[in-house]
Amino acid sequence: MSPTMTETTVVTLKIDDREISARSDQTVLEVAWENGLFVPALCHYEGLGDVGACRLCLVEIKGSPKLTPACVVKVTQDMEVVTQSERLAKYRRSIIELLFAERNHICSVCVSNGNCELQTLAQKLGVDHIRYPYLYPKVSVDASHSRFTLDHNRCILCARCVRACDEVEGAHVWDLFGRGVDTRLISDLGTPWGESETCTTCGKCVHICPTGALVEKGKSVAEMVHARPRFAAMARVRSSSGR
């Protein structure tokens, strides 16, 4: 263990008035989920590093006036967390609505219709219409890869693909380019995916994508079912086999 790392201990904290004990190296989101509590999340994926990109996992932590993304905060002794409140519900709904308004989501004709984490969360959080004006950005579809397609119309910039390709596959094809609503996912520093020299065609990015943005070719409406890779289990197997 390096000297800068603090030792892992067991802490007790309160989440939604429940006494819970956890390891000090766990995040609030992990602990909440482990205890069967519902906290919505889109950018978090078990087995990948957290980046706090989507802000859906916001919770209230006693003593702080700000809302805190649960996926990037570790639990501490005597912490008091609230995961359900009117205020949180309001912000979570707004975030979902903004994601819909920011790109072109036409669920009825989407390859991921019925198999989409954004769509499912919208329903779960009670989003039945979008109050913000749709931006209708003119974005492209990259169909240059022989097996997969990237449809920017459906991308929510969660960066799950970026991390899967970098951290698990080790290829680092993807990056996010630009700022704010103009941010775009790019492959190999801006070359078409089909011309990528680094892509191994492993499909990890495709199967980890929460929406219909990264899909297998040849899928029609509602046919794209993501086979969610079990990165955390893979990592455990690798470390226990001494590699």
45 binds, among other proteins, ligand FES, ligand SF4, none (CB under 5 to 8 A by kind): none
123 binds, among other proteins, ligand FES, ligand SF4, none (CB under 5 to 8 A by kind): other proteins
Q: Assign 138 to helix, strand or coil.
A: coil
Residue 68 CB, nearest approach to ligand FES (Å)? 10
Name the residues that contact other proteins, by CB under 8 A: 100, 104-110, 113-114, 119-120, 122-124, 126-131, 133-134, 136, 138
31 binds, among other proteins, ligand SF4, ligand FES, none (CB under 5 to 8 A by kind): none
Residue 15 CB, nearest approach to ligand FES (Å)? 16
> What is the distance between the alpha carbons of residues 169 and 96, in angstroms, rounded to a whole number?
29
Residue 125 CB, nearest approach to other proteins (Å)? 8
Tokens of 222: 């509602």
| Binding region for ligand FES (CB under 6 A) out of 18-26, 36-44, 162-170, 193-201 | 36-44
Q: Count the Cβ atoms, other than its own, within 10 Å of residue 89.
A: 13
Which residue, chain included where needed, has tokens 């509590």? Answer: 37
How distant, in Å, are the alpha carbons of 22, 38, 115 from that of 58? 19, 12, 24
Query: Is 43 a binder of ligand FES (CB under 6 A)?
Result: yes
Which ranges of 11-85 would DSSP assign to H, the alpha helix?
28-34
Pick between residue 105 and residue 160 the one whose CB is nearest to other proteins. 105
Q: What is the largest CA-CA distance in the chain?
A: 54
Query: Is 54 a binder of ligand FES (CB under 6 A)?
Result: yes
Phi then psi for residue 213, to 5 deg, are -80, -40
Name the residues that contact ligand SF4, by CB under 6 A: 105-107, 110, 112-113, 116, 118-119, 154-161, 164-165, 169, 171, 173, 185, 199-205, 209-214
Sign of torsion over alpha carbons 149, 152, 153, 154 = positive
41 binds, among other proteins, ligand FES, ligand SF4, none (CB under 5 to 8 A by kind): ligand FES
185 binds, among other proteins, ligand FES, ligand SF4, none (CB under 5 to 8 A by kind): ligand SF4
Which residue, chain included where needed, has tokens 């609503």? Answer: 181
Nearest to 34 by CA among 45, 26, 24: 26
Which residue, chain included where needed, has tokens 């980046």? Answer: 51
Which residues between 62 and 101 bind ligand FES (CB under 6 A)? 69, 71
> What is the distance between the alpha carbons of residues 228 and 232, in angstroms, rounded to a whole number?
11
**Given the rule CB under 6 A, which residues bind ligand FES?**
41-44, 52-57, 69, 71
